[in-house]
Amino acid sequence: MGPRRPALLAALLLGLALVVVLWLRIPWAAVPQVTDPTAGLTAEQVSRADAFAAAVRPASVVNLLLGLAVSGVLGLTRLGSRWVAAAARPLGGGWFWQVVLGTLVLTVAGRLVTLPLSAYGEVVRHRYGLSTRSWPLFARDVAVDTGITAGLTALGLLLLVALARRAPRTWWAWAGAGAAGLVVAGSFLYPVVVEPAFNDFTSLPAGQLRTDLLDLAEANGTPVQDVLVADASRRTTALNAYVSGFGSTRRIVVYDTLLQQLPDDQVESIAAHELGHVATDDVLTGTLVGALGAAAGVALLGWLLGSARLLRRAGADGPGDARVVPLVLLLVAVGTLLSTPVQNGVSRQLEARADQHALDLTRDPDAFAAVMRRLAAANLNQPDPPAAWQWFFGSHPTTAQRVAAAQEWSR
């Protein structure tokens, strides 16, 4: 058996395990039939959401394709490998600095190429009143995001190249285990390391709403020590809430905009939805799926990086050569793009289950439907977007589907 075949076999077996986990852990169910594609929004609200989508979606697609094109040019020609080698030359040109500085250079280059489109998107969000972020804060967010992305990417690539240098035939197995471990660690650390880089969090002040939310969590069988408020209004007028982390870092977070704009019963409906994610261990499921996906992806990467033709095009001698970094970044970008519809399909099913949980917990379908409409209007979401867009990019059921689910529950 050649050195590439075990990697391909492992990728197939891990992919099969991933399919089994998805089958067992995801509540595959048909979406409710939509009877009103407007979801009860006014004609003006629907028109405004349509206009916003028409303004930002083409730029979003171009941004995505442009980033992929840049990765392709750098990963499938010797240009990327030259950049990696040149970046480390002032520090002696060793493989460690080639990985670290090469990753930084490539990440910054990709960000600079797409920055005009990102800025255009920010202009549109300002025009529609969705963004409150100042341009200095926008620049700061871009810089912080780029730094975090480059740092985490470099960490993963250092692990990969170091293992490939130490165990040329089996590096992908060790790196796959490491990638899975990083996914698990990330679920613990993201809420306490990454999220605070973009928002400040405070406990929801004492009062009737806080009491009601904690009581709701108790009734849900998932008591929480705290509910956090994010200072999202520094950046946006959008409404949102989410749950992240698990174990000691699990938290429910609501935007301050949510508390400013919605009545308590609607805030409770949103909190009940987030408690649904907690009750069914959706973060744990996502972590397990992510860990298996990462391990399978690294095994597939091991097979691909055994291709002499690919390595020759990239100007690298093998996975233990730091000049392979641009090629790895391209392959990861392509894999991420191809897996996006699957990830979003899974996400939509989990979100639909959390919606049902919220309805069962609050027994208030009117408040649920009302808050879905408020979210759509405030966030400029089309209530019934094009099917192809929803299939590829939609991480939640459409507003029309969620309102239909509330109506179906009340029957």
Known catalytic residues are 274, 355
Among 357, 211, 199, CA closest to 270: 357
**SS3 of 335, please?**
helix
The answer to whether 275 touches 214, Cβ cutoff 8 Å, is no
Question: Both ends of the chain: CA-CA distance in Å?
Answer: 61
The answer to whether 54 touches 322, Cβ cutoff 8 Å, is no
Alpha-carbon gap, residue 289 to 25, rounded angstroms: 9
CA 194 to chain centre: 13
Alpha-carbon gap, residue 86 to 74, rounded angstroms: 14
Alpha-carbon gap, residue 283 to 340, rounded angstroms: 18
The answer to whether 322 touches 93, Cβ cutoff 8 Å, is no
Report CA torsion sign: 353, 358, 360, 363.
Answer: negative
Alpha-carbon gap, residue 203 to 235, rounded angstroms: 19
Is 351 known to sit in a ligand binding site?
yes
Which pair of tokens denotes residue 264? 């308590």
Parallel, antiparallel, or unpaired for β 201-203 and 241-244? unpaired
Which pair of tokens denotes residue 332? 């990861």
Run of H or E including 116: helix 95-127
DSSP string over 61-86: HHHHHHHHHHHHHHHSSHHHHHHHHH
The answer to whether 124 touches 52, Cβ cutoff 8 Å, is yes
Q: Which residue has the tokens 């300002």?
A: 126
Is 273 known to sit in a ligand binding site?
yes
Report CA torsion sign: 186, 74, 108, 60.
Answer: negative
349 DSSP assignment: H
Alpha-carbon gap, residue 287 to 246, rounded angstroms: 10
Going by the annotation, the residues of the binding site for Zn(2+) are 273, 277, 351
